[in-house]
């Protein structure tokens, strides 16, 4: 067996997921173990290295076949140097992640942030397979994003590109403050957290909605209520969709990608959500910039991170 | 003399400007002649080819030194094919510009749109020299734009990227229709045309302004009045600056370029305009995405087009 393999590591706050991919991005083997958050930076770094060795041991592959190890991690990075400036959910700062792993594993190492990596996964081997230019949104607790041009992640001057969720898109009069400190970010209306906040506000205001009978409101509850005709819930989902569509209209005229790919929990709302986004996109986008452009759901689910991390070796 | 040279052609509605550059983007020789608009596509195409030959003849260089000819042209293009789908001010449509010039000149040919080419000129050899990631605005009759990532123009899937002037940025309630048909484009407020429109509206509304004494109002008149304390004029310039700053804040979080470069007639307003843009940018941009980022004036003036067109051969 002399096939080249690529290891992708997705470092989450609780779990580190590892995958082995071939050169086309097919996921051949997976492994996971605890991150060790709270036990100090050293423990997390050694876990990453150990799990990378472990997955190869328990797979039918040999260490010699490993072309490199890619790592996706949440936080502020210096991407070209593979350096973690600050990761809030891992309590890591000023850490030379690439240097450590190069030393430990003696393989080429690439590091990028989790949202960029998920975008690369979808672009390389998921919904955007074969599509060189795409923009990916991950609608979860926040709105993650990644921009792929010419098959590669746009990193930006200070590794800050692709933060789609923090583009100020809600007009000042309606804007609320985002977790990032700025006003009117896309994330404040189109993330699960944003949807839940709007629902709670509506219930507190006394709006007539079935949501007011729930003890805990989830984004799925809001979508489900909207689907069966709850007008308040429908208005909330429409608002989330409106600003996603507006964001895509702006990106269409700035970058003119071929695909917009939407993943994350909120995207499971399906065509009910997608059709509203498409309608807004259609309305706000210049004719020539929407020709042939598609808005599609992500296909890799939770594996986008490990596949994309593996892809960093070929495309990073 | 065996130095390699690069020819850049800037095809305007009235004049075709041609330049010879060296490999560093120094402009070594220029030439210009009438475009021949209105005399048919053939005349324009032959003029481009003839002027490219002519400039070399009257220069100290030999045709053998020419590494290629780049052409910047206004209109909707298929950039990879060098094909002009439609150019409104030249009355050209469905024309294989690259094919024609390859045949006539027997040199590598690259074609791109005028705004992208001006951006490349500034990025390659002007205000952005040595800076790999920058976004350029040209504030003239419209708002032209070009995005440079990794030293190269972002073209987009259907050659529609970089249309900064047509990003919908003015909130719906205050938006007016743009020439492109869409509402609230940056161009409606931050171009010379936009500034003049806002001034005329103010005069018609009866606002107290020195502009009301003018028979014809130019953008320069509005800027000059604002500089000497005319409040109505100042409000108009602030509005133009506000949406430019907001546009840059959005781009900072999407692409995180190192430089924003502003050229075109309106940019001559200087620090009076730039300081207001910087203030808005500062306010609306995430801390990490503005670190080390600069907003600077273009330096090549009207030569950006020919320098950038020459640059297409090396960077296109």
Interface test with A, best of B131, B143, B160 (most A CBs within 10 A): B160
Residue owning tokens 């000497």: B228
**What is the CATH classification number for the domain harbouring A81?**
3.30.420.40
A15-21 vs A5-11, strand pairing mode: antiparallel
A217 and A287 share a domain? yes
Output the CA–CA distances (angstroms, integers) from residue B51 to B44, B55, B204, B308, in the order listed.
Answer: 11, 6, 47, 17
Residues above pLDDT 90, as percent of chain A: 93
A156 and A32 share a domain? no
Residue owning tokens 């210096």: A78
B118 and B177 share a domain? no
B46 and B135 share a domain? no
Tokens at A286, concatenated: 């210049």
- Spatial contact of A192 and A141, defined as CB atoms under 8 Å apart: yes
The total of structural domains in chain B comes to 2
CB pairs under 8 A between A and B: 125
A284 and A308 share a domain? no
Q: Which residue in A78, A92, A79 sits closest to A47, CA to CA?
A: A92
Interface of A with B in 92-111 (CB under 8 A): none
Cα separation, A283 vs A199, in Å, equals 26
- Spatial contact of B35 and B90, defined as CB atoms under 8 Å apart: yes
Q: Residue B2's pLDDT is what?
A: 73
A139 and A251 share a domain? yes
Cα separation, A141 vs A63, in Å, equals 36
Average pLDDT value for residue range A249-273: 96
Neighbouring C-alpha atoms within 13 Å toward the C-beta of B85: 13
B167 and B201 share a domain? yes
Q: What is the DSSP letter of A38?
A: T
- At residue A204 the predicted structure's pLDDT band, cuts being 50, 70 and 90, is very high
Q: Which residue in B35, B56, B58, B60 sits closest to B46, CA to CA?
A: B35
A110 and A178 share a domain? no
Contact call for A160 and B286, based on CB within 8 A? yes
Q: What angle do CA A260, A264, A269 make, to 5 degrees?
A: 85
Is B162 at the interface with chain A, CB within 8 A?
yes
Helix (H) / strand (E) containing B30: strand B27-34
Interface test with B, best of A150, A156, A251, A289 (most B CBs within 10 A): A156
Cα separation, A84 vs A298, in Å, equals 27
Q: What angle do CA A140, A115, A123 make, to 5 degrees?
A: 110
Q: Which residue in B100, B144, B146, B97 sits closest to B121, CA to CA?
A: B146
Q: Residue B1's pLDDT is what?
A: 52
Q: Which residue in A25, A27, B146, A121 sits closest to A134, CA to CA?
A: A121
Q: Which residues of B touch A86 (CB under 8 A)?
A: none
**Sheet hosting strand A27-34, strand order edge to edge:** A27-34, A15-21, A5-11, A66-73, A109-113
Is B296 at the interface with chain A, CB within 8 A?
no
Residue A1 pLDDT > 60, yes or no?
Answer: no
Cα separation, A179 vs A187, in Å, equals 9
Q: Residue B99's pLDDT is what?
A: 98
Q: Which of A168, A172, A253 sits opposite B163 (nearest CB)?
A: A253
Q: Residue A2's pLDDT is what?
A: 72
Is B239 at the interface with chain A, CB within 8 A?
no
Is B88 at the interface with chain A, CB within 8 A?
no
Cα separation, A46 vs A58, in Å, equals 18
Q: Which residues of B touch A250 (CB under 8 A)?
A: 167-169, 250
Contact call for A254 and B147, based on CB within 8 A? yes
| C-alpha distance from A215 to closest chain B C-alpha (Å) | 35
B11 and B115 share a domain? yes
**Which domain range does residue B43 map to?**
5-123+303-315
Angle between helices B271-284 and B231-254 (to 10 degrees): 50
Spatial neighbors of A207 by CB under 8 A, at least 6 apart, are A232
B152 and B189 share a domain? yes
Tokens at B197, concatenated: 């429109």
A167 and A112 share a domain? no
Q: Residue A172's pLDDT is what?
A: 82
Cα separation, A246 vs B167, in Å, equals 10
Is B178 at the interface with chain A, CB within 8 A?
no
Q: Which residue in B76, B66, B87 sits closest to B18, CA to CA?
A: B66
A28 and A177 share a domain? no
Q: Which of A154, A250, A285 sits opposite B250 (nearest CB)?
A: A250
Q: What angle do CA A147, A153, A155 make, to 5 degrees?
A: 90
Question: Which positions of chain B have pLDDT values less than 70?
Answer: 1
């Amino acid at each position: 067996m002399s096939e080249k393999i690529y290891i992708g590591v997705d470092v989450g706050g609780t779990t580190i997921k590892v995958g082995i991919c071939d050169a086309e991005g097919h996921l051949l083997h997976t492994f996971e173990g605890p991150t060790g958050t709270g036990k100090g930076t050293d423990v997390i770094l050694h876990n990453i290295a150990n799990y990378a060795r472990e997955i190869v041991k328990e797979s039918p592959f040999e260490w010699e076949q490993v072309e490199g190890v890619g790592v996706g991690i949440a936080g502020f990075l210096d991407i070209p140097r593979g350096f973690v400036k600050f990761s809030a959910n891992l309590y890591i700062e000023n850490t030379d992640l690439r240097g450590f792993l190069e030393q430990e594993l003696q393989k080429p190492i690439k590091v990028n942030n989790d949202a960029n990596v998920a975008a690369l996964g979808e672009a390389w081997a998921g919904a955007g397979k074969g599509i060189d230019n795409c923009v990916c949104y991950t609608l979860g607790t926040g709105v993650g994003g990644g921009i792929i041009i010419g098959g590669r992640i746009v990193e930006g001057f200070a590794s800050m590109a692709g933060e789609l969720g923090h583009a100020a898109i809600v007009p000042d009069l309606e804007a609320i403050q985002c977790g990032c400190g700025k006003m009117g970010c896309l994330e404040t209306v189109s993330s699960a957290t944003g949807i839940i906040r709007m629902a709670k506000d509506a219930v507190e205001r006394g709006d007539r909605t079935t949501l007011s009978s729930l003890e805990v409101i989830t984004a799925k509850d809001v979508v489900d209520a909207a689907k069966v005709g709850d007008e308040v819930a429908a208005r909330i989902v429409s608002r989330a969709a409106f600003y996603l569509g507006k964001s895509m209209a702006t990106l269409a005229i700035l970058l003119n990608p071929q695909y917009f790919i939407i993943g994350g929990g909120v995207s499971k709302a399906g065509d009910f959500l997608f059709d509203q986004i498409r309608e807004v996109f259609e309305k706000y986008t210049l004719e020539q910039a929407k020709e042939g452009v598609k808005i599609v759901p992500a296909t890799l689910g939770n594996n986008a991170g490990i596949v994309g991390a593996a892809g960093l070796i070929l495309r990073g």
